[in-house]
A and B are shown apart, each in its own frame.
Chain A
Amino acid sequence: MDGLDDLYKDIILDHYRSPRNRGELPVPPAMSAEGFNPLCGDQVTVYVTLDGDTISDIKITGTGCSISQASSSLMSAAVKGKTTSFAYDRLAVFKRLMTIDDTPGEPVNVRELGEMAALQGVVQFPARIKCAILAWNTLDQVLSTHASPQ
């Protein structure tokens, strides 16, 4: 059952069982957005507090399959304390890993992704790519509402 071990790596199962940065932040001052994936009925809400250009805090609530929930947890760990441009950069890399962005260019440097690279196996299960990308798209939504002129 090779494919299955690729999909459900230990890191993923660990983040699914003990999700990091779980919870809510008061809005405002935090910003939030909700994402939904009709395939699995996955739902996530991403809360972000910005300090200047830095994601000083991030919390996530939601329900859904192991891939969506583990990906949320991995994402929160990857971007917490980092700048928004770092987050956007990671989002771009992750989309390439998930083959959502398949414009030719440098191959994805998987090592750069740290624990998030554990989600690489999802690509073998095309139906589940939407589960993996859900939290990232929702983070994108939060950050882009902030970026729009006030």
Chain B
Amino acid sequence: MSGDFSSLRSDIPQLTREVHGRRLVYLDSAATSLTPRSVIEAMDQYYERHHSNVHRAVYLTAEEATAAFEGARADIASFISAPGGAEEVVFTHGTTESFNLIAHGWGARHLGPDSAIVLTEMEHHANLVPWFQLRERLGFEIRFLTVTDDFRLDLSNLDELLHGASLISFTGISNVLGTVNPVAEIAKRAHAVGVRVVVDGAQLVAHHPVDVEALGIDAICFGAHKMMGPTGIGAVWAKRDMWAEMDPFMGGGAMIADVSLDGYVPAPDNRRFEAGTPPIAEAVGFAAAIRYLRGWDMAALQAHEDTLTAEALRRLADVAPGRLRIIGPPTLDQRAGVISLDLDGVHPHDIAQVLDQHGVCVRPGHHCAKPLMKRFGLSATVRVSFGPYNTSSDIDVLIDALTAADAMFR
């Protein structure tokens, strides 16, 4: 299915902006995606009509707010085909907090001096640092899958690394290379030896249809702002039996069954993982974003982004031939619309600065994946990333701007 996505653009208010007198060409969706009007309006509605705290209230607007908040949880569960429904979804403030919840909630109970987990060299700092922090306290071993010269996870020693480990946590799509990892295959091999499987879904859930049961994973972390929703909210989905193995990592109101001066009893259900007043307006916006994505159909949006990615890869080959290197898979095979570039002799920040003057938003830097940058001997790349609202004419502007940047510094 490859539809007409030009009308989608008119749903995004920010796309009407001009910057430096040019049309805004937004190519930084891997960092955060632009927001459709329907998401903004849904959050406005909450603040204008239903603003109240959730749970435990008896008045009408609080019941409305609670229904909207819990409805969002159900929408998220169904979006990723959670087999156990809404009860398996816990809200967080974003992907980063989701990883902290799993590391401290699950890891603190299961890891110690004799245990090991497996991560990869391709991870975002969000799926590294929480585990490093926990390791400082508990002293377990962290093993790493490495990345091959052709930008794939090296699975040749996967079974060896999994042996004796209790958990593997890895990204579905690399936010630097665009590599799409074989989630189902890794999950199958991990489960064969009783290893829990956690996936970084920050990019995957935002750009591909995801069915957690079909992938055969135990948990996935993702956030709304990379999937056309608001900042400040994310989620963890985990299988019911995985939640049962976890302890709350934040304490406070709302997560308890009882509190006395002697101590507390955590809530019996997954409310024990949500301490304090949650981001309610953001949950409403998250649900609106999911409705929006479903309205266009995730598979169709992926196909659209795949088409753009293939076109960009093809056309980038003609820019500064021999000097512009794509740091990631060169074709659409198992890759998504995140394209990192290295232009010999021109620093990524200089490129991004010139692109900005052409109205083009791209990201220079290490993309919160310093070990991966080190693996390829780079300190920074220029990263181009697509969202559903991008078009072929965005690629035209990108190519012109890159050519101008190259001419300027060469």
Contact = CB atoms under 8 A, between A and B. Distances in A.
Contacts of A8: 350, 354, 408-409
B357 A66 contact: no
Given A3-B20, A16-B409, A66-B409, A40 B357 contact: no
B409 A40 contact: no
B353 A125 contact: yes
A41 B350 CA distance: 12
A125 B356 CA distance: 11
A64 interface: yes
Interface of B: 20, 347-350, 353-354, 357, 364-366, 379-380, 408-409
B408 A41 contact: no
Contacts, number: 40
Q: Enumerate the 3 nearest inter-chain pairs by beta-carbon distance, A residue then B residue, closest first.
A: A41-B379, A65-B347, A40-B349
A3 B354 CA distance: 10
B353 A4 contact: yes
Nearest to A4: B357
A4 B409 contact: no
A65 B347 CA distance: 5
Interface string A4-23: 10011000010011000000
Contact of B408 (A13, A40, A63, A65): A13
A3 B347 contact: no
Interface in A46-72: 63-67
Contact of B349 (A4, A13, A17, A39): A39
Given A4-B353, A13-B409, A64-B347, 15 more contacts: A1-B20, A1-B357, A3-B20, A4-B354, A8-B350, A8-B408, A40-B347, A40-B348, A41-B380, A63-B379, A65-B350, A66-B350, A125-B353, A128-B349, A128-B353
A127 to B, nearest CB: 9
